[in-house]
Structure 1
Amino acid sequence: MTTSEDQAGVSRSDVLRGLGLTAAVAATGTLLGGGTATAQAQGSPEHPNVRLIKDYYATYGEGNPAKLRRFFAHDIKWTIPGHHPLSGAKQGVEEVLAFFRELNKAGFRAEPIFLAADGEWVVDLHRGWSTQPNGLDILWTLAFRIRHRKIVEAVNFAADQHAADAFFWKVYKLAPLPGRLD
């Protein structure tokens, strides 16, 4: 038995996949007023919105935030949780791209673990981490609303919001006063 397996022979990745399914279904049910999403059955056709989000993550992985523009509706709303310099609702493509440019400075990467679609919503569970020394490495869930093959809304959920807040405050300093107020 490897060190990444427990006594029952279940690997860490199997556990994460199971947790991903549970978290994604729960999050989707909450967003949709109590409904449930189902994971795609093996061999069934992929939901087009899941394909869109997979393509989005592949493009994100290239490290060029400008290439993400094609995935966003012009009036996109992207909500970042927490109490830190990057948190809050970003409105419109330019604000969302500015957020991604800042994430890029810390070398943020994402590794999707689970995706599920229900109507216009896609819920994903992914590992998100910074390549900066002493960076952040936690699970995130995103709820994407998609219309006309564009992301119109995204809401982030952090597995450890306190760690995320501490990291973002450490990496993204506010400009000193009084210049910050100009």
Structure 2
Amino acid sequence: MSYRRSYAPPTSEHPNVTLLRDGYTAFAKGDIDFIRTLLADHVVHRVPGHGPLCGDYSTPEEVLGFYVRLFELSGGTFRTEPYAVLADDDHGVALVQTYAERPGKVLDGRAVDIFALSGGRITEIRTLAEDQYADDAFWS
């Protein structure tokens, strides 16, 4: 006797996938107020590397300030566009394409944003650049 299981994909996406997609849409529009609603009071955004923007941003205000700084240093050209977003109740991952320009420099690469989620809010973000050396050089 053979048992076959058929796989039926879910008919709707997980609410945390929607939350993350909405966050990237707000980021693209510069909607800092909406992004603030997604961040837990004890959020931390960890940015590894050795460039001037690397480090831990440990409050919603610091995280939002980091985002503003990305736009300032790139003359408003910085963007990050997700091409895949996955999430469950506690974790999320976004594969993103990043782009920015600075005088004599262009950043055009991929990164992974890893999220910890709790109660419909983001508690942690880790951004991992595909080429950390190029990322560090661009922002330096």
Corresponding residue number in structure 1 for 2:13: 46
Residue 117 of structure 1: aligned partner: 87
Once the two structures are superposed, residues 80-126 of structure 1 have per-residue CA deviations (whole angstroms, 9 ceiling, x without a partner) of 01101110111011110110110111121011111111331011101
| CA offset digits 1:131-181 (Å, max 9, x no partner) | 445321110101111111111100111000000000111xxxxxxxxxxxx
Q: How does 1:64-143 map to 2 (within 5 A)?
A: 64-105=31-72, 106=74, 107-132=77-102, 134-143=105-114
More helix by share: 1
Identity of aligned residues (%): 35
Aligned residues of 1:77 and 1:153 also touching (Cα < 8 A): yes
User: Which residue is equivalent to 2:136?
Assistant: 165
Structure with the larger strand share? 2
Partners of 1:54 and 1:82 in 2: CA distance: 26
- 8 Å contact 2:115–2:124 — kept in the other structure? yes
Aligned partner of residue 61 in structure 1, secondary structure:
helix
The CA RMSD measured in Å over matched residues stands at 1.6
Conserved? CA contact 2:89–2:118, under 8 Å? no
CA contact (8 A) 1:110 1:127 kept: yes
- Partners of 1:59 and 1:147 in 2: CA distance: 20
Q: 2-side partners of 1:118 and 1:43: how far apart?
A: 13
Is this contact kept in 2: 1:66–1:97, CA < 8 A? no
Unaligned runs of 5+ in 1: 1-40, 170-182
Structure 2 match to 1:60:
27
CA distance in 1, matches of 2:88, 2:23: 18
The amino acid across from 1:165 in the alignment is D
Q: Do 2:48 and 2:55's aligned partners in 1 also have CA atoms closer than 8 Å?
A: yes
Normalising to structure 2: TM-score of the pair? 0.85
Runs of 4 or more consecutive aligned structure 1 residues displaced over 6 Å after TM superposition: none
Alignment correspondent of 1:3: none
